[in-house]
Amino acid sequence: MTSKSTAEQFAHSLKELNLIVEGDNTKLPPVDDWHPTVSGEIDIRINREGMWFYQNEEMTRKAMVKLFSSILRLDSDQKYYLVSPVEKMRITVDVVPFAIVDFRVVTLEGKQAIIFKTNIEEDLVLKDPQQFVVDKNDKEEPIPLITVRKNLKGLLNRNVFYQLADIAELHEVEGVEYLGVWSCDQFYPIDLASST
């Protein structure tokens, strides 16, 4: 059973380590280099929309959510942990830890680029071939995912996905025609052209 103050104690220990991400400082803590000996679990849940809850109450302080998201790690056991140098605490994630809430199309080095915005107000440029994928659930509904950092993914909100589909165009990949989008000279399929 998690005590009422566990989240605050964990956050306080991180604050003492000066790991809060503030202002223009975009450097993330080196969570992959930390191998704490103390582990447990904390009653924190991230829902499908990327909203964080502590003991079933929404965490409304953006600074706290941003702090926690900066020390989030997905380990080889496919479980999500909040990690500090001295401890790691398992949390619950319904789908993936981030939500993609918006995007914009810009020109970078003379080429079209798509920049997505996460629910914690981070921007990420779509530029790597494996960065964006559209999976399907058992009802054949699209699950559009983008890699936010390392193996942590973000789920495109439904309205963002529809807006992305609005700018999609047809392109042939290995003899198969897809509907998709271009970013940084890469084509990202959204769906087979024949199923649209």
Here the contacts of 76-81 (C-beta below 8 Å, separation 24 or greater) are 80/46, 81/39
Task: Look at residue 137 in the predicted model and tell me its pLDDT.
Answer: 83
CATH architecture, range 6-93? Roll (3.10)
Q: Which two tokens stand for residue 3?
A: 């005590």
CA-based torsion, 64, 65, 66, 72: positive or negative: positive
Task: Look at residue 13 in the predicted model and tell me its pLDDT.
Answer: 59
Asked if 86 and 38 touch (Cβ cutoff 8 Å), the reply is yes
Task: Look at residue 141 in the predicted model and tell me its pLDDT.
Answer: 85
Task: Look at residue 15 in the predicted model and tell me its pLDDT.
Answer: 58
Task: Look at residue 28 in the predicted model and tell me its pLDDT.
Answer: 83
Task: Look at residue 74 in the predicted model and tell me its pLDDT.
Answer: 96
Secondary structure (3-state) at 103: strand
Query: What stretches in the chain show pLDDT beneath 50?
Result: 1-4, 19-24
Task: Look at residue 4 in the predicted model and tell me its pLDDT.
Answer: 46
The correct CATH number of 98-191 out of 1.20.1050.10, 3.40.50.720, 3.20.20.70, 2.30.270.10 is 2.30.270.10
Task: Look at residue 63 in the predicted model and tell me its pLDDT.
Answer: 85
* Domain-wise residue ranges, the chain: 6-93, 98-191
Stretch (H or E) spanning 168: none
